[in-house]
Structure 1
Amino acid sequence: MTGTTGTAAWPRCGRPEGGEPCPGRKVDPYPACLAHLDDTDRAAHLATLSPGADLDHRGTPLTQDLLDELLAPLRAPGTGRARVGRADFDAVRFSGEAEIRDVGFDGYCSFTSAVFDAGLYLEAVRTGGDLRLDSAHVAGDLWLDDCEVDGDAWFPKARVDGALRFCGRKVGRSAVFRDLTCAEARVEGVDFERGADFTGLRVTGTAGFDGAHFLNGAACFDRADIGGDMPFDGARFDANATFEDATIGGDLSFVDAAARADVCFRRTVFRRTAVIGPLVCPGTVDFSDAVFETAVTLEVAAKEVRCVRTRWASTAALRLRYADVDLTDATPAFPVSVVGRPRPFVSPAGDEIAEPGLARKQVGVVSVKGVDAAYLMLADVDLTRCLFVEAVHLDQLRLEGRCRLAEPPGGPRWIRRRTLAEEHHWRATRYRGWTPAPDHGRHDPDVLAPVYRQLRKALEDGRNEPGAADFYYGEMEMRRHSDSASRGERTLLWLYWALSGYGLRAARALAWLLLAMTATVFAMMLWGLPKGDPDPVSEGTSDGRRITLTTKKPTPVNPDGAYSRRISGERFEKSLRVVANSVIFRASGQDLTTTGTYVEMTARLVEPGLLALAVLAVRSRVKR
């Protein structure tokens, strides 16, 4: 900006004006300002002006009639459009409505610290340099329609008692609206070639930025205070858009808006915001440390959504697409749902909103650390990288729809089950194929076992017994590897795992049952069945009319001979009957050798237990 500033930098008129000396700049070579020149001197001065002349009337009290009279000699006869070189109107006091139409400024136009008793309306105005209204006070509306600024547009600390309406064409360089105050703001269809700075903007009503284009620079709304809605429909952000420490009283709409970088709402307070979005952003949308005071719906399609330490004082629905969501230390006071939306968002007209620059993937939650999960519901999200440790009330977490968790590496060594990302981090230090921990480190099994336990209970309370089975398996795995468990406990857990996968692997239990039955059959064939079935022997004594018979059963004779002769079809059939009866706690009724009797006793103890483990595993997978 090359315009002049400071009210003491020009020769002042000094004529009485409202009881005070007039601060208007003298018109050379006259002793008074334009407002206090007599008719003859004013006419003589205006006669010297021609299109392209510079104007310097700082501090001068102006009216619309006087302004029209000043611009008349600068207008081209054919078009009626005025052409001015540079214009200095700093600290002017304008009485009544001020209208500047069809004026082109070859240089800058400055109204720094100007005071307008009513509205200021600029229409079809173009400046080759800067347009300045910094520290100006407009008692009515400030309208800039069909205006074009080739330089900077400066409005810092301006105060507009009415509405600010900026519906121009473009601002060729920076646009600065720092600490501007107005009742309502409408910035529509303007191309800000180097971004715009709305830091500290204060709007008591609605602030709309429909169709505004923030090109090659950031759109900064830090510390803005917006009392009503803040629509950005059709807006375009080529760089970051920031709303840090802002206060927003209404809804934020981004229908058909194009954001090519990040959008930041850090520490923003949303007073009565019910809807934010649909917002499409190929970068990060950051709500960290934001506060939502009323029920809100967030509709966002982005690469990443951060809600670190975000506070929800009422219910919230996060309807997201593609994003990785970080909820670390978020504080929900009422139910908050995070839902992966399968279909694109639609405009009010029913058209699908384009989503350029976004990789097609399922919404993923990467962390719920420090969250009170009693108020959290996750639906149709990817939890393969989610960190659960340090969350509280995980037993009350609700998982709905298709929530995918991490699985062990492929290969025969590892069975398919749902695991936590933290288990991957721990196992990666021991085995290949597991996902290593990021920079924040890993947790030991003692820490992970309670997490699995709480998540298991959460699914069981939701009547999802099959889904809870994998969390039970993970809990037992962590207990089996825990350094704090006693050796005896770990031994029992190792046996439980080896025999049936903690009562969850029916195939494993059935395999052991089949192996035990096969071994028992061969033991019976080799040593358990006697050499032959003994026949009963009766011995009697005759005593008058009474006859007493005593029948003695011979002791079964152990088989002898080569083992190959003992393995026959007849002996196999008898052995199979013995083993089949032992599985269901029944005596076979078969005469056995001493060895066979002990083998049968052992089988009747072990094999029904293996069968029960197999039935338990099947039940765990089909229970509803």
Structure 2
Amino acid sequence: MPRGSAGDVGFWSATFERPTGFDSATFKGDTRFALATFKAVARFESTTFERPAVFTSATFNDGAVFDWATFEHVALFESATFQDDAGFQWSTFKEIALFESTAFQGPAVFTSATFQDGAGFKSATFQRDAWFGSSTFQNDAVFEAAAFERNAWLESATFERALRLGPLVCAEQVRLSGAVFGGPVILSIAARHLECRRTRWSSTAEVHLRYATVDFAHAVFEYPLTIAAEPDPFVLADGQQVAEGPLSGAPAAVRMASLRGVDAAHLVLADVDLSGCLFTGTVHLDQVRLEGTCSFATVPSGTRWRAGHPVRFTERRTLGEEHHWRARLPAAVPGWNATASGVGPVGPAQLAPVYRALRKAFEDGKNEPGAADFYYGEMEMRRHDRTGTSRAERGLLHSYWMLSGYGLRASRAVGWLAAAMLATIVLLMGFGLPNSDPKQEATGTVPAGGGKVTFEIGKDDAHNPTGNRFTGERFEKALNVTLNSVVFRSADQDLTTAGTYIEMTSRLTEPVLLGLAVLAVRNRVKR
């Protein structure tokens, strides 16, 4: 083939039966391969197109190699069909490159390509993996209604001025790890997985997702970034819904897999499932904003068995990492989810600050009841932390947990209060109430010649009855003393010496238990 062409080159509707080679050629005029058919390999490696290159509706039955090609004018591949490999590695598109409605039936490789003007892949179909790693998009990158039936690899790609990416559909994974977004951008993606590890966002961004499990570990963003789950299919500008192909019918929930290493000061999460998210190592987690319904993992439901005795958990929201930690314990209760592969072990010392930060985030959002679960989790981690919590402090926390669930379990505090009152009543009936109320006696001496008389008034010592002590009358008196003790009042009931100490103990402990019950109710209803 000639290495250079000064005029226009037209291969309109041409058919190339044998391998075609235009390697290192230079087309100085318009180059038209519209409706052409390449039945064998078509090679345009290191080719330069100085004027428009038109491959509209062309068909490449075998491989198409455009590696190192330079398109100095528009490159039109609209409605083209690549039945085998399509290679555009290290290619340069100096003006707009259009691949609208193009069908890539084999791997599409745009690794390290440069798009200096717009890149249009609207309604393009990628049946195999699409590789855009290390590519540079200096202007708009249009993937509206693009469909990836396998994976979309955009690792280390640079989007300098992209305003919108998508909506696009990917049946497997979209990888944006190491990518750089230089300006404001809106991403709309329906995919099974989205990986944005070490992705850098240099301006505001919105990420609207469906179906995806998202990994944002070590992503960097200096401006507000919103990750939101979309309940309904994406809609194009003309009002038509984006076809979701193999994803249709699956739950559209968006699950966050990791936020480790992220500075969450500017992060907004909306309607995202955080049940399996890894939070340890997240910076400024107390400033994250949770909008809509952001769900967390929960404790095992129902009654479980551990070491031969039943264990019942009160419902609360937990971190997925607490599940991982508890599942590793020697006497783990069934129902805690085991650690996912590749996740490093964390313990109470690492989880307590995470719970504390999320509690503050809920409190700053004026959601006190929502913050209560994370306060409970923080206290649980402190109680189990054998490195940062002293033994005395752990003992105090254990007592606090047993009595009232850290001031959050009203039923537990009320149960202990009822038990303490019952014990007080029984002890008073058995040892505290005298047989009968002691009578006052007055004694004195009358002088023989008359004059002032002095009397001494005293009471007999109270004694327990020798007969039946558990009678209805004694129960009523014991109940009266106990109820008054709960509210720091004296029942003015004569008691034995043992009864006096029983009442003193009751007046010390039972009001505390009542206060814990009131505190637990308040923490659940406070706004």
Give the shorter-chain TM-score range: over 0.9
- CA-CA distance at 1:587 after TM superposition: 1.3
Note if contact 1:556-1:592 (Cα within 8 Å) is conserved in structure 2.
no
Once the two structures are superposed, the pairs formed by residues 196-215 of structure 1 within 5 Å of their partners are 196-215=86-105
Counterpart residue number, 2:430: 526
Question: Partner amino acid for 1:378?
Answer: L
Aligned to 1:205, the other structure's residue is in SS state coil
Change (3 A) 1:546 1:187: farther
- CA-CA distance at 1:539 after TM superposition: 5.1
**Cα distance in 2 for residues equivalent to 1:237 and 1:476:** 51
Question: Partner amino acid for 1:160?
Answer: F
Deviations 1:331-352 (A, max 9, x none): 1111211111111101222122
**Cα distance in 2 for residues equivalent to 1:257 and 1:446:** 46
Deviations 1:445-503 (A, max 9, x none): 11211221122112212222111111111111111111122221111111111111111
Counterpart residue number, 2:306: none
Question: Partner amino acid for 1:561?
Answer: T
Aligned to 1:123, the other structure's residue is in SS state coil
Counterpart residue number, 1:584: 487
Give the one of 252, 259, 271 matched to 1:368. 259
Q: Would you say 1:513 and 2:421 are equivalent positions?
A: no
**469-478 or 146-155, which deviates more:** 146-155
Give the one of 192, 197, 206 matched to 2:82. 192
Change (3 A) 1:260 1:547: farther
- CA-CA distance at 1:540 after TM superposition: 7.0
**Cα distance in 2 for residues equivalent to 1:362 and 1:372:** 24
Q: Would you say 1:397 and 2:288 are equivalent positions?
A: yes
Note if contact 1:532-1:556 (Cα within 8 Å) is conserved in structure 2.
no
TM-score (norm 1): 0.78
User: Root-mean-square deviation (CA), in Å?
Assistant: 2.0
TM-score (norm 2): 0.92
Change (3 A) 1:538 1:387: same
Note if contact 1:452-1:475 (Cα within 8 Å) is conserved in structure 2.
yes
Note if contact 2:444-2:454 (Cα within 8 Å) is conserved in structure 1.
yes
Unaligned residue ranges in structure 1 (runs of 5+)? 1-89, 92-112
**Cα distance in 1 for residues equivalent to 2:293 and 2:463:** 62
Counterpart residue number, 1:298: 187
Give the one of 163, 166, 187 matched to 2:52. 163
Counterpart residue number, 1:378: 269
Once the two structures are superposed, the pairs formed by residues 345-356 of structure 1 within 5 Å of their partners are 345-356=234-245
- CA-CA distance at 1:550 after TM superposition: 4.7
Aligned to 2:246, the other structure's residue is in SS state coil
Change (3 A) 1:545 1:204: farther
Note if contact 1:534-1:553 (Cα within 8 Å) is conserved in structure 2.
no
Aligned to 1:458, the other structure's residue is in SS state helix
Change (3 A) 1:127 1:537: same
Find the structure with the greater CA-based Rg: 1
Note if contact 1:122-1:145 (Cα within 8 Å) is conserved in structure 2.
yes
Question: Partner amino acid for 1:480?
Answer: R
**577-586 or 129-138, which deviates more:** 129-138
Note if contact 1:253-1:278 (Cα within 8 Å) is conserved in structure 2.
no
Change (3 A) 1:548 1:325: farther
Question: Partner amino acid for 1:141?
Answer: D
Question: Partner amino acid for 2:422?
Answer: T
Note if contact 1:143-1:164 (Cα within 8 Å) is conserved in structure 2.
yes
- CA-CA distance at 1:534 after TM superposition: 3.0
Aligned to 2:75, the other structure's residue is in SS state strand
- CA-CA distance at 1:542 after TM superposition: 7.4
**Cα distance in 1 for residues equivalent to 2:172 and 2:523:** 43
**Cα distance in 1 for residues equivalent to 2:65 and 2:471:** 100
**Cα distance in 2 for residues equivalent to 1:415 and 1:162:** 72
Change (3 A) 1:555 1:366: farther
**Cα distance in 2 for residues equivalent to 1:439 and 1:147:** 50
Question: Structure 1 stretches (4+) deviating beyond 6 angstroms?
Answer: 540-549
- CA-CA distance at 1:207 after TM superposition: 1.5
Note if contact 1:527-1:558 (Cα within 8 Å) is conserved in structure 2.
no
Note if contact 1:254-1:278 (Cα within 8 Å) is conserved in structure 2.
yes
Note if contact 1:302-1:323 (Cα within 8 Å) is conserved in structure 2.
yes
Note if contact 2:139-2:161 (Cα within 8 Å) is conserved in structure 1.
yes
Question: Partner amino acid for 1:453?
Answer: R
Aligned to 1:162, the other structure's residue is in SS state coil
Once the two structures are superposed, the pairs formed by residues 401-416 of structure 1 within 5 Å of their partners are 401-412=292-303, 413=311, 414-416=313-315
Deviations 1:58-91 (A, max 9, x none): xxxxxxxxxxxxxxxxxxxxxxxxxxxxxxxx22
- CA-CA distance at 1:353 after TM superposition: 1.5
**Cα distance in 2 for residues equivalent to 1:545 and 1:184:** 136
Question: Partner amino acid for 2:321?
Answer: E
Counterpart residue number, 2:333: 432
Deviations 1:135-166 (A, max 9, x none): 22122332222222211222221111232221
Counterpart residue number, 1:387: 278
**Cα distance in 2 for residues equivalent to 1:160 and 1:260:** 31
Counterpart residue number, 2:363: 460
**Cα distance in 2 for residues equivalent to 1:446 and 1:491:** 17
**533-542 or 230-239, which deviates more:** 533-542
Unaligned residue ranges in structure 2 (runs of 5+)? 304-310
- CA-CA distance at 1:549 after TM superposition: 7.5
Counterpart residue number, 1:490: 394
Once the two structures are superposed, the pairs formed by residues 78-117 of structure 1 within 5 Å of their partners are 90-91=1-2, 113=3, 115-117=4-6
Q: Would you say 1:593 and 2:496 are equivalent positions?
A: yes
Q: Would you say 1:557 and 2:462 are equivalent positions?
A: yes
Counterpart residue number, 1:417: 316
Aligned to 1:591, the other structure's residue is in SS state coil
Once the two structures are superposed, the pairs formed by residues 235-274 of structure 1 within 5 Å of their partners are 235-274=124-163
Counterpart residue number, 1:332: 221
Note if contact 2:161-2:182 (Cα within 8 Å) is conserved in structure 1.
yes
Q: Would you say 1:574 and 2:503 are equivalent positions?
A: no
Counterpart residue number, 2:64: 175
Identity of matched residues, %: 44
- CA-CA distance at 1:282 after TM superposition: 1.0
Aligned to 1:145, the other structure's residue is in SS state coil
- CA-CA distance at 1:133 after TM superposition: 2.6
Aligned to 1:566, the other structure's residue is in SS state coil
Give the one of 126, 143, 146 matched to 2:32. 143
Counterpart residue number, 1:611: 514
Note if contact 1:540-1:547 (Cα within 8 Å) is conserved in structure 2.
no
Q: Which has the higher contact order (CA 8 A, sep 6+)?
A: 2
- CA-CA distance at 1:582 after TM superposition: 0.9
Note if contact 1:158-1:179 (Cα within 8 Å) is conserved in structure 2.
yes
**Cα distance in 2 for residues equivalent to 1:614 and 1:256:** 57
**Cα distance in 2 for residues equivalent to 1:546 and 1:467:** 79
**Cα distance in 2 for residues equivalent to 1:320 and 1:121:** 44
- CA-CA distance at 1:254 after TM superposition: 3.1
Deviations 1:373-419 (A, max 9, x none): 11222111111111111111112122222111111222332222111
Deviations 1:4-54 (A, max 9, x none): xxxxxxxxxxxxxxxxxxxxxxxxxxxxxxxxxxxxxxxxxxxxxxxxxxx
**Cα distance in 2 for residues equivalent to 1:361 and 1:566:** 68
Counterpart residue number, 1:69: none
Question: Partner amino acid for 1:559?
Answer: N
Deviations 1:519-554 (A, max 9, x none): 111111111111112344445777999976757352
Give the count of matched residue pairs: 510
Note if contact 1:541-1:547 (Cα within 8 Å) is conserved in structure 2.
no
